Chains A and B, each alone.
Chain A
Amino acid sequence: MTGRPCAKPQATKVAACAAFVVLVLLSICIGAGEFSPRGLFTDPQALELFLVSRLPRTVAAVLTGAALSIAGLIMQALVRNRFVEPSTAGTAQSASLGILIMTLFFPGAALAVKTLAASILALLGTSLFLAMAHRLPPAQPYLVPLFGLVYGGVIGAVVTFVGWQTELLQYIDIWTNGEFSGVVRGRYELLWGTAVMLVVAWRVADRLTLLSLGRDVSIGLGLGYQRTLQLGLVIVSVISALTVTIVGIIPFVGLVVPNLVSRIMGDNLRGTIPWVALSGAALVLSCDILGRVIRYPYEIPVATVMGVVGAFLFLYLMFQRSAHA
């Protein structure tokens, strides 16, 4: 049954696009302040609310969701393992270590500079993870994600310990527990950097697919293996650093979205990247909307909602997998 690509991919694609549009509209309309789309043209205050808060928040959720799921997809291709993602395997933790170091030693640095430091640390942390993951026996597919969890946990613990010693724990919480309530005009624009990464990822999609076929096949087909690996690492690290700095860590997105899309459409990234991005955006948008309505007018951080929703999706994937195995 799952042997062939989805029998009606066209219908699935149309449904996905429609759901996405509805979610964007919902995200714009829902919030603590009064707002109706009609007011955009008549009420200057509504327009102001839209431009300062609702639009940035929606854009941020879309960019974050799309970018995190693509980062997960690429990381899975680099490591050749379906169960890793940047937020559990040390990339996001390394990024937050970068921000912590900047906060401690250069507290006055601009956000862009902090993000750059976070990117560099994320790149180092992920390269080390990749180097070690490639040494683990490939016949044991669950070893890599387990190792990633331990590795990410150790770096996360360092961040917490240093934060505790320096009384920055509350501050650390801002970037370890992702939420969009702080996103307003002027405070999220760096996130557009993830869009650049998405375009780069799409342009090199074929090479990333080849990477996932392994080193020997890639080299045999004339791919610059090391360079492609490095490019993939940069994309994953920059996306993680940008989202951690501006939104905070959101778990599970990079794990479940690529797996769900792969189940339906396969692993040819040239074709799947747009749909992974769209589904990731839709998932993060829905979790953010849920977080806004559950305790209206108060908010639950998107990372918390995603923790619950993502866990269920992950369980679904696992049970589906064993049913077909």
Chain B
Amino acid sequence: MIVIENVSLSHRDTPILRDIDLSLPRGGITALVGPNGAGKSSLFSLIARLQPLQKGRITVDDMPVDTTPSRTLAQRLAILRQDGAVANRLTVREIVGFGRFPHHRGRPAAEDLALVDAALSEFDLHSLADRFIDTLSGGQRQRAIVAMTFCQGTDYLLLDEPLNNLDMFHARQLMRCLRTIADERQRTAIIVLHDINQAASYADRIVALRDGRVIADGTPDDVLTEDHLESIFGYRMKVEHMNGKPFVLHHL
């Protein structure tokens, strides 16, 4: 379980997060939604110890993120950053393989290699496995980075806009894959999503942030109402229901 208690963050004098209290139990998919600048990525970087905590406390399975050894955390929690731009000349297989680094520290065992192969298949990357990543398209590169994050094999996955650059086919495949590991292996995915309908279809829970505060938290049915959506995004949008799930006509 990830527990966030009383966390605030400010940059110079600008408040970014204000008194966040949130607990994310093990298992399932939680979507983090909100307008640009709501503090979603900042919250992620605090959970993933990429930025020092200014105020409050965050624990992952009872381990405080600011004092637990980085390697121990890396075996429990993986993060995909929004701007994970990698311009190196590493092959796709090499970069996915680095996802296993927290487990083998440079000496991959047969199990690590098998997991890399599995991730390459899962994300449709076998034909690109020996290509240098700097020669790939944006979407192919994104798939490679997502595969690397998956390959880390952690109980918790923090994915900041993982659908960036992905075409519909691969976006759907990624969301289904997350659903599978959440259902079958009790793993936990916390995803920043801008496509609210992806959240409606795949998430178990939606947490909405605005101006550094949690302003809605619940199942997709609870959160995706016209009133809530207006208070989150600042305009009124129509919500229909299809196959029993909310469907937001946000583009009209």
Contacts and interface: CB of A to CB of B under 8 A. Distances in A.
Contacts of A216: 45, 50, 79, 81, 84
B74 A222 contact: yes
B88 A267 contact: yes
B90 A206 contact: no
B101 interface: yes
Contact of A5 (B79, B81, B106, B132): B132
Contacts of B98: 206, 209-210, 213, 221
Contact of A3 (B75, B101, B132): B132
Given A5-B130, A212-B88, A216-B81, A221 B94 contact: no
Contacts of A224: 70
Nearest to B81: A216
Nearest to A264: B89
Interface string B65-100: 000011111110011010010101111001000110
B91 A266 contact: yes
Of listed B69, B78, B94, B105, residue having the most chain A CB within 10 A: B94
Interface in A77-96: none
Nearest to A272: B89
Nearest to B70: A222
Contacts of A212: 88
A185 B78 CA distance: 54
Contacts of A215: 50
Nearest to B149: A220
Of listed B70, B71, B130, residue having the most chain A CB within 10 A: B70
Interface string B127-161: 00011100100000000000000001000000000
A60 B45 CA distance: 47
A289 B71 CA distance: 48
A104 interface: no
A215 B48 CA distance: 12
Interface string A120-154: 00000000000000000000000000000000000
B64 interface: no
Interface string A254-295: 000000001100111010000000000000000000000000
A4 interface: yes
A62 to B, nearest CB: 26
| Size category of the binding interface on chain A | 20 to 34
B91 A221 contact: no
Given A4-B131, A5-B130, A221 B88 contact: no
Contacts of A263: 89
B49 interface: yes
A93 B70 CA distance: 36
A219 interface: yes
A2 interface: yes
A32 interface: no
B185 to A, nearest CB: 20
Given A2-B135, A5-B132, A220-B74, A206 B89 contact: no
Given A210-B101, A268-B94, A222 B73 contact: yes
A161 B49 CA distance: 46
B50 A206 contact: no
Nearest to B94: A268
A145 to B, nearest CB: 15
Contacts of A266: 88-91, 94, 132
A209 B91 CA distance: 13
Nearest to A138: B85
A267 B135 CA distance: 13
Nearest to B130: A4
B54 to A, nearest CB: 18
Contacts of B84: 216-217
Nearest to A262: B89
A118 B129 CA distance: 45
B88 A213 contact: yes
Interface string A193-226: 0000000000001110110111111011111100
Contacts of A270: 106
A268 B91 CA distance: 8
Contacts of B72: 222
Nearest to A222: B74
B101 A222 contact: yes
Contacts of A213: 86, 88, 98
Contacts of A2: 132, 135
A190 to B, nearest CB: 30
Nearest to A266: B89
A209 B79 contact: no
Nearest to B131: A3
Nearest to A3: B135
A284 B114 CA distance: 42
B48 A220 contact: yes
Contacts of B48: 219-220
6 contacts: A5-B132, A212-B88, A220-B48, A221-B74, A267-B90, A268-B90
Interface of B: 45, 48-50, 69-75, 78-79, 81, 84, 86, 88-91, 94, 98-99, 101-102, 105-106, 130-132, 135, 152
Interface of A: 2-5, 205-207, 209-210, 212-217, 219-224, 262-263, 266-268, 270
Can you list the 4 inter-chain pairs with the closest CB atoms, starting with the nearest? A222-B74, A222-B71, A206-B106, A222-B102
